[in-house]
Chain A
Amino acid sequence: MATLTVNGKQHNIDAAPSTPLLYVLRNDLKLNGAKYGCGLGQCGSCTVLVDKEPVYACVTPISVLEGRTITTLEGLGTPENPGPVQRAFIAEQAAQCGYCIPGMIVRTQALIEHKPKATEQEIRDYMAPNLCRCGTQVRILRAIRRALKETRTAEVVR
């Protein structure tokens, strides 16, 4: 039995301690955001935040997460009230099939927190672990630039 803190709520999980977080999120907690893409940490579809840092949920055993804070796509906003990064992606219509986008949004969230003034090259380097097969990257980049800009503007207003 492991206790995980996901999107601000504590959950007791009855699974083997070596179980990758991805399957616990998707099946035990019924969260759809993190997706299975490769199970090898090569594509980023399963990206979630652990203590605000992006990690691959598919190669993260739940045993290492006791006492740490996990944030998934669902923790960033809801369909009724999408978060800033989600709003930027919607505004840019940055999806085709959309399967990789949750991982993109989560990684963008981390980028905003770590490098709010990221240059174009820094954005691309930071996003390089995440793959998109539909070729939506051009829009995703637009959405990221928008999210960065709007976050910076919001900071100034605050």
Chain B
Amino acid sequence: MNAPHSRRAFLAGTGALVIAFSSRKAFAQEGGPPNQGMGPAGVKKLPGDLSKFPKTDSWIKLEANGRVTVFAGKAELGTGVKTAFTQCASEEIDLPASSITMITADTALTNNEGYTAGSHSMQDCGTAIRYAAADLRATLIELAATRLSANAAELKVANGVITAPDGHKVTYGELVDGLDQARDVRPETKIKPNNAFTVIGKPFDRVDIPGKLTGTEMYVQDMRPEGMLHARVVRPPGYGAKLSNIDTAKAEKLPGVIKVVRDGSFLAVVAQREDQAILAMHVLEDSAHWDDQTKLPKQSDIHNVMMAFPHDDTTILDKGILGQPGAKSLKASYSRQYQSHASIGPSCALALMEGDKLTVWSHAQGMFPLQNGLSKLLAMPPENIRCIHTEGSGCYGHNGADDAAADAALIARAVPGKPIRVQLMREQENGWEPFGPAMSTNVSATVDAAGKIVDWQYDVWSTTHNNRPGGAGNLLAGQHLATPFTPDPPKPIPQPEGGGDRNAVPLYVFPNARVISRFIPTMPLRVSALRGLGAYMNVFSIESFMDEMADAANTDPVEFRLKHLEDPRARAIVEKAAKEFGWQPNAKLPRGHGQGFAFARYKNLGAYCAVAMDLSVDRQTGIIKIGKVVASVDSGEAVNHDGIRNQIEGGIVQSASWTLLEEVTFSGTEITSRDWSSYPILRFTDIPDSVDVHVIDRPDERFLGTGEAAQGPTGAAIANAVRRATGVRIRNLPLNPANVKAAIGV
């Protein structure tokens, strides 16, 4: 392995012994294996991503000074996983957090854990770190037993010091010599019993918060390496626009401008100062002539347009015999518009070309996939490209981060030897990011006289939810080059995780049910992964319809859900939210007020989450004001309760914003939602009065991904409460004032 910035070189500075990885597999596809289980022929598989990367020192490395370095292939996206990883390591290795250095996603240093996505971080990476740390600790105790001539079982460990009953001690650091850190984590490794925990599940502040709140250099946007130059790109006006002609002389003459970079329709400028780069970018915009052949469908008709495209259908649930007779049958259709990640900080990246080696600092979700994409884009061997994850603002999926990294790499190649910082402008981020796809669902069901659903049919139409790089054509600049790259053909993400059909299979037990996923390869707008993928829309549809069916069965919606749930953890989480909220069937509320309830288990594999809320609808304006929100969540073993609460609280507010306001707007030729004027999100005046999250900790269960669990239930709980407040069921998102007003009338 001859990476330009090797693990060896990196660690050499710390004087630590280093053994390079012996093997590295291709990056993981979205949707890894369950984090524990049995391999073929009953051989016990290592848990989490240890199954792919078994070597101890690829996860945790003890140094002679007694400190450990932890290598997480997953990155901090603002969700607090870095803190949770630190807790996992600290607990199992018995060192305080201050003795732990955390390295995250870096192609030269960490395992290739693919994307930080799909709420996989804790189950894949957190689990691996934990077992690796536990195994290292066990090994250290074995060594200490020999060194101290004591029985291993009688040794006490605290703060990196191992003490024998006779009082003799040895520190971790003293045991580094003769320690084989490169060996595979042993399958029989045992983690601590939960009654021995001092760190996991205990209050533990986020490690990154003090720095972020005091102006420490924390984000890729904050990086200022010596000699750094500022770059800006000029994006075409529309998807189909080609740069036909440009006179770059004016821009080149501006003060501070170093170079205008053009390759086909890819256009950028490099300047000494950031403000100079922006000025030059505007001048280039004014000088550019585009041939714009973009043709977009009519926004108001987008769902019909999409459903008319060819689609590949997959029956993802087929149970019993459809067409059962019953007391009452209903059917309904639901839809959502395209939605934007709209990160608060537009994407940014740094790149430095030195000789034939390129280093890129990016806040994208996958450093190894990015390395792969850049290698194709630049025709460079991947081992000559190092991608280092550096935090950006929250991304909630595949936003403009990868594109900014590709921009920076192309510019750095044109201006070698200088670190190049590319910062997208707000209108570039909002106009060019891959959106969460528009979707449609149809559902019909029959309830019998006993109030049980006997027949359920569900169809979901969606484009792909994953156009992440891999290929260079998935990087925006790749499509704009004179010799352009074609995006990879869109593929559905298979069940059980699913993409557009994520959570399309209800967790409820219905005797006869069919669910069809209708995958549309044609994509009028650029799309990719947005928090929850199809789960938000599918849960919105299913949970709205469950309320409609509850009404048809004349049953309280919470009771109706419980009637169809067998999974005891699902039942517990529904009951918990209802109890904490104080849910009363047919609660008497003031006029215009309503209560709503919804539940889902994310992906049917991750965290369980139920949301109950009350809200009021202003008849005059159609404005929905959310009052009290209570959620319950079961993430399995809870490493950091407050971190889980933070994710669920944030998910509720973000999903409320999606549900109440958000839709990408477009004309026949261009995306028109470009800033906060044209893409409003919730402001403080519209935030729920209160949000309370109750965590059900299950210390004996494995970690369940939490970050996306609240999105679907929140949206449906809002629609359900609006139905009870107004008598009107609104099935097409968003529930913005105009749509609500149109639905409820005067």
Contact = CB atoms under 8 A, between A and B. Distances in A.
User: Do A and B touch (CB < 8 Å)?
Assistant: yes
Interface of A: 15-16, 19-20, 23, 26-27, 30-33, 35-40, 42-43, 45, 72-74, 77-79, 82, 86, 89-90, 93, 95-102, 105, 123-125, 127-139, 141
Nearest to A24: B275
A95 B213 contact: yes
Contact of B215 (A32, A89, A127, A141): A32
Interface stretch (B128-136, B218-226, B461-469, B509-517): B218-226
A123 B689 CA distance: 12
Given A124-B687, A138-B688, A36 B646 contact: no
Given A39-B425, A90-B213, A138-B690, 9 more contacts: A15-B275, A96-B78, A97-B391, A97-B393, A99-B393, A101-B213, A123-B684, A134-B78, A141-B687
Interface stretch (B28-36, B293-301, B338-346): B338-346
Give me the 3 closest cross-chain CB pairs, A-B, nearest first: A97-B78, A135-B653, A99-B393
A130 B344 CA distance: 10
B275 A135 contact: no
Interface stretch (B201-209, B439-447, B608-616, B736-744): B201-209
Nearest to B652: A135
A130 B684 contact: yes
Contacts of B224: 27, 30
A50 to B, nearest CB: 17
B426 interface: yes
A136 B646 contact: yes
22 contacts: A16-B275, A23-B273, A26-B222, A32-B222, A35-B345, A35-B393, A38-B346, A38-B426, A38-B676, A39-B425, A90-B210, A93-B209, A93-B642, A96-B78, A97-B393, A99-B78, A99-B344, A100-B344, A101-B212, A129-B683, A135-B651, A138-B690
Contacts of B112: none
B675 interface: yes
B172 to A, nearest CB: 28
Contacts of B274: 23, 26-27
Given A96-B650, A99-B219, A82 B210 contact: yes
Contact of A133 (B391, B394, B649, B651): B394
Contact of B684 (A96, A102, A127): A127
Contacts of B215: 31-33, 72-74, 102
Given A93-B205, A100-B344, A128 B646 contact: no
B491 to A, nearest CB: 29
B677 interface: yes
Given A95-B212, A96-B79, A138-B690, A125 B685 contact: yes
A90 B676 contact: no
Interface string B275-300: 10010000000000000000000000
Contact of A131 (B77, B219, B221, B681): B681
B684 A135 contact: no
B247 interface: no
B209 A39 contact: no
B211 to A, nearest CB: 6
Given A135-B649, A135-B651, A77 B214 contact: yes
B646 A131 contact: no
A91 to B, nearest CB: 9
A19 B683 CA distance: 29
Contacts of A45: 344-345
Given A82-B214, A90-B205, A35 B690 contact: no
Contacts of A128: 683-685
B675 A38 contact: yes
Contacts of B483: none
B642 A79 contact: no
B538 interface: no
Interface in B671-686: 675-677, 681-685
B687 A138 contact: yes
B541 interface: no
B411 interface: no
Contact of B426 (A32, A37, A105): A37
A98 B208 contact: yes
Given A95-B209, A99-B219, A99-B344, A40 B426 contact: yes
B654 interface: yes
A45 B274 CA distance: 17
A72 B213 CA distance: 12
A79 to B, nearest CB: 5
Interface string B334-353: 00000000111110000000
B675 A42 contact: yes
A136 B344 contact: no
A35 B222 CA distance: 9
B676 A99 contact: no
